[in-house]
Amino acid sequence: MLQQLQNDEGKLLLLTPNRSLSWRGNLWIITGLFLVSLCVVTGMVLLGAWVVLPFTGLELTALFIGLYHTARNCHRQEVLVITPDTLRLEKGIYRKQVEWELPRHYTRVQVHPPRHRMTPSKLSLMHRDTEIPLAPFLNMDDTETLVAVLESQGLRVVRIRPALEAYWF
Is residue 137 classed exposed, middle or buried when 0-12, 13-18 and 19+ CB atoms within 10 A define those classes? middle
Q: What is the pLDDT of residues 81-109, one digit of tens each?
A: 999 999 999 999 989 999 999 999 999 99
Q: Which long-range contacts (CB under 8 A, 24 or more apart) does 111-115 make?
A: 111/147, 111/157, 111/158, 111/159, 111/160, 112/160, 113/159, 113/160, 113/161, 113/162, 113/166, 115/166
Q: What is the pLDDT of residues 106-154, one digit of tens each?
A: 999 999 988 888 888 899 999 998 999 999 999 999 999 999 999 998 8
Give the rounded percent of residues in the chain with a pLDDT score beyond 70.
96
Q: Which pLDDT score, from 0 to 100, does residue 166 have?
A: 53
Q: Which pLDDT score, from 0 to 100, does residue 169 have?
A: 55
Q: What residue ranges do the domains of the chain occupy?
A: 2-16+78-167, 23-73
Confidence tier at 168 by pLDDT (50, 70, 90): low
CATH entry, 2-16+78-167, from 2.30.29, 2.60.120, 1.10.3470, 1.10.10: 2.30.29
Q: Which pLDDT score, from 0 to 100, does residue 100 have?
A: 94
> CB under 8 Å to 6, separation ≥6 — which residues?
12
